[in-house]
Chain A
Amino acid sequence: MNRAIKKEIKFFLLSDYEKEEAYLTEMHRTGWKLKNVSYGSVYTFEKCEPENVVYRLDFAQDKEKDLSYYIAMFGEYGWEYMQDVNGYSYFRKRTDGLAEEDTELFSDSESRFEMMKQIINTRLMPVWVIFTGILIPNFVKAIMHGFDHIPFHTVLTVLFVFLFAGYSYVILHCEIEFQKLKKKYTKK
């Protein structure tokens, strides 16, 4: 029997992993279990019985050197490893009858902050570097050339305006969301 397949395209930025977890968990709860993620944002689901399965994403920069050990260790805690996308590891687990702490990857705030720190240092920093080192100078240059009626310069101007806007959005969004996450997990 062929199972029904559904594909959805979603964009989750670096700071949106909890939203992605909630999205995948909700899909499974309504009878669509994740088959895989391709091209970073195409989610393929397979029809299934609605189940309470929680999805969690981990980001551990040093796991590459020993991925099989990493997967085996999470397996001991009941986590099924699915795949890696952009440095994030996708795990899932059935939650029926489980205590709340067994549905989480992290049991203290310090380790959540450590994961955020790794994402910021290895993923968000390069975005900042490209933005300040390449985009801002070229954006300024393009704007200055943009009004001299040479078509090629106009195309460049438009391109850099778009890139500048895109990068600004990504950086601003991530910085705000990471602040929210930090606040959420800071003890009151």
Chain B
Amino acid sequence: MTDKIKRIYIPMTETGFYILFCLQEEMHGYGITQKVKEITDGEVIITAGTMYGSLSKMEKDGLICFIREEEKRKLYHITALGKEILQLEIERIKRLYKNIGGV
């Protein structure tokens, strides 16, 4: 993994984290927004411009890849590099959680 990608993406924005987290399954942009809204009880909303911009940036940086098109929607999936970044971020968050007295 290049250090540059690491420097850009870690720590991640909440938006970036949830997008990458969701893309462990094949999904499209609007589907991600709906799922994130659901699993955060409506606390995290990712809007159209933010979603489009994040997906194209992550695709360009090789964190996710385009899988196929379905009814004018592009389906994406996380790449090996994306998984690596996600794992680093998860470990960072776990450490945070541990240090504030969680398990």
Contacts and interface: CB of A to CB of B under 8 A. Distances in A.
Interface of A: 56, 58, 60, 62-63, 66, 68-70, 72-74, 76-77, 79, 101-102, 104-108, 110-111, 114-115
Query: Which one of B28, B49, B51, B56 has the highest number of Cβ atoms from chain A below 10 Å of its Cβ?
Result: B49
Interface in B64-80: 69, 72-74
A72 to B, nearest CB: 4
A107 B15 contact: yes
Interface stretch (B40-48, B84-92, B95-103): B40-48
B50 A73 contact: no
Contacts of B51: 73, 77
24 contacts: A58-B49, A58-B52, A60-B53, A62-B56, A62-B60, A69-B72, A70-B52, A72-B73, A73-B48, A73-B73, A74-B48, A74-B49, A74-B52, A76-B73, A77-B33, A102-B47, A104-B49, A105-B47, A106-B50, A106-B53, A107-B50, A110-B13, A111-B54, A114-B57
Interface magnitude class on chain B: 20 to 34
Interface of B: 13-16, 28-30, 33, 45-54, 56-57, 60, 69, 72-74
A106 B56 CA distance: 15
6 closest A-B pairs by CB:
A105-B49, A77-B48, A72-B72, A111-B50, A76-B30, A107-B47
Contact of A108 (B15, B56, B69, B74): B15
Contacts of A62: 56, 60
Contacts of B29: 73, 76
A60 B57 CA distance: 11
B45 A115 contact: no
A111 B53 contact: yes
Contacts of B49: 56, 58, 60, 74, 104-106, 111, 115
B49 to A, nearest CB: 3
Nearest to B49: A105
A114 B30 CA distance: 20
A104 B47 contact: yes
B72 A101 contact: no
A101 B52 contact: no
Nearest to A68: B72
B95 to A, nearest CB: 23
Nearest to B15: A108
